[in-house]
């Protein structure tokens, strides 16, 4: 049976990674687009998914049998802290409209993209680490982004409600910290790795000090956007259950923010050595230790993912962190003028 796959948020970080993986003739054939698949990547220019009617029209236009739902109102820490209501309401609207339209159109499968921010704040819950798929709703999320977090949690609740009432196997993926080409590098509104990359780039360019925030000690699991895209393709073709799946590197691949900073600088040095060896990338690092660190760690288990991959017979290996950073830095430098940086380049 042929599949028509609609990807919402198709121009974003993960949507672009999906397009790369599906069309990359040098990648593993297991993750390339198949002859019986037609892929459509929708953007916000086609439909405002906060609007029920525009969402319905999008589904009528493409008539999907499957949906990978990536669209969301997203932002960095400070934007979340000051706009929790907006993030709550807009994301509830988006998610409800997509799931409702999918059900009305008799879509076979929907995979929604959540985030590890759906998990409870670490206070009093450290003995429950690592985080697993069963621990989403056992306590309140971190107060800094409770609006976004609760909106994403509701996707899991809606999935189970669609299963109970209509037998739908709509499900969700929970990635850890994602980074890669086409990320949002805006210093005011980016996540940790793209923000550090842009800071280092500007500091070296202007001859100023590169100042990462905090102590550098917190630990995080990062997943390369192109690895995540492969896992979405795998879920689409192999996973048929309402229960969510954490998409993450193993716990032992946690890295400190200090290691990330050093690795980002090395990636820029490698890029410069290959593009302009006469001018080495040289920047001084001074930590702004007065800035808050946030949660020290929030390790997530990928045991369920590893088991399911093995059972499905799909061979999958995560891209080494340093290689993924190098590829992202290379893309960022090459595409700086068109990348999302928040800088007026005119």
pLDDT in tens, 261-296: 999 999 999 999 999 999 999 999 999 999 888 778
How far apart CA 228 and CA 252 sit, in angstroms, is 18
pLDDT at 332 over 70: yes
Bridge-based pairing of strands 255-256 and 219-220 is antiparallel
**Strand intervals (E) in 101-218:** 109-113, 171-175, 177-179
CATH code given to domain 3-176+222-253+299-315: 3.40.50.720
Better-scored residue on pLDDT, 129 or 124: 129
pLDDT at 60 over 80: yes
**Helix ranges (DSSP H) in 119-189:** 146-166
If pLDDT is split at 50, 70 and 90, which confidence band does 189 have? confident
* Average pLDDT value over all residues in the chain: 93
pLDDT at 181 over 90: yes
**pLDDT for the residue numbered 78:** 64
What's the average model confidence in pLDDT over 15-24?
A: 96
pLDDT at 83 over 90: no
- Residue 245's SS3 state is strand
Q: What is the pLDDT of residues 218-256, one digit of tens each?
A: 999 999 999 999 999 999 999 999 999 999 999 999 999
Tell the residue number behind the tokens 């302009």, with chain if given: 276
pLDDT at 344 over 90: no
- Residue 66's SS3 state is strand
Residue 159 in tokens: 């999935």
pTM of full prediction above 0.75: yes
Tell the residue number behind the tokens 């509830």, with chain if given: 92
What's the average model confidence in pLDDT over 178-184?
A: 97
The catalytic residues are: 148
Tell the residue number behind the tokens 């759906």, with chain if given: 118
Q: May I ask the CATH architecture of the domain 183-220+255-296+319-346?
A: Alpha-Beta Complex (3.90)
pLDDT at 311 over 80: yes
Domain boundary assignment for the chain: 3-176+222-253+299-315, 183-220+255-296+319-346
pLDDT at 124 over 90: no
What's the average model confidence in pLDDT over 11-27?
A: 93
If pLDDT is split at 50, 70 and 90, which confidence band does 325 have? very high
């Amino acid at each position: 049976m042929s599949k028509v796959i609609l990807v919402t948020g198709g121009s974003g970080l993960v949507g672009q990674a999906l397009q790369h993986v599906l069309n990359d003739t040098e990648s593993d054939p297991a993750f390339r687009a198949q002859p019986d698949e037609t892929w459509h990547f929708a953007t916000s220019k086609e439909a405002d998914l906060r609007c029920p009617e525009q969402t319905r029209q999008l589904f009528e236009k493409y008539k999907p049998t499957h949906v990978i739902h990536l669209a969301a109102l997203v932002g960095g820490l400070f934007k979340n802290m000051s706009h929790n209501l907006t993030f709550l309401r807009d994301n509830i609207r988006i998610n409800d409209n997509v799931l409702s339209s999918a059900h009305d159109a008799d879509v076979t499968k929907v995979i929604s993209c959540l985030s590890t921010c759906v998990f409870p704040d670490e206070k009093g819950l450290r003995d429950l680490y690592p985080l697993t798929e069963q621990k989403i709703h056992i306590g309140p999320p971190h107060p800094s982004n409770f609006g976004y977090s609760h909106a994403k949690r509701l996707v899991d609740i809606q999935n189970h409600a669609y299963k109970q009432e209509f037998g739908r196997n709509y499900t969700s993926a929970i990635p850890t910290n994602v980074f890669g080409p086409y990320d949002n590098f805006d210093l005011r509104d980016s996540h940790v790795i793209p923000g550090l990359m842009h800071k280092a780039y500007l500091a070296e360019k202007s001859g100023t000090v590169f100042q990462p925030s905090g102590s550098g000690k917190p630990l995080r699991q990062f997943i390369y956007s192109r690895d995540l895209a492969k896992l979405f393709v795998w879920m689409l073709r192999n996973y048929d259950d309402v229960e969510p799946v954490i998409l993450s590197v193993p716990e032992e691949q946690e890295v400190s923010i200090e290691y990330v900073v050093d690795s980002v600088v090395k990636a820029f040095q490698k890029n410069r050595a290959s593009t302009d060896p006469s001018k080495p990338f040289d920047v001084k690092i001074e930590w702004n230790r007065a800035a808050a660190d946030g949660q020290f760690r929030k390790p997530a288990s990928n045991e369920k993912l590893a088991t399911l991959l093995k059972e499905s017979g799909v061979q999958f290996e995560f891209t080494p962190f340093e290689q993924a950073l190098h590829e992202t830095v290379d893309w960022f430098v090459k595409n700086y003028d068109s990348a999302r940086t928040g800088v007026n380049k005119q």
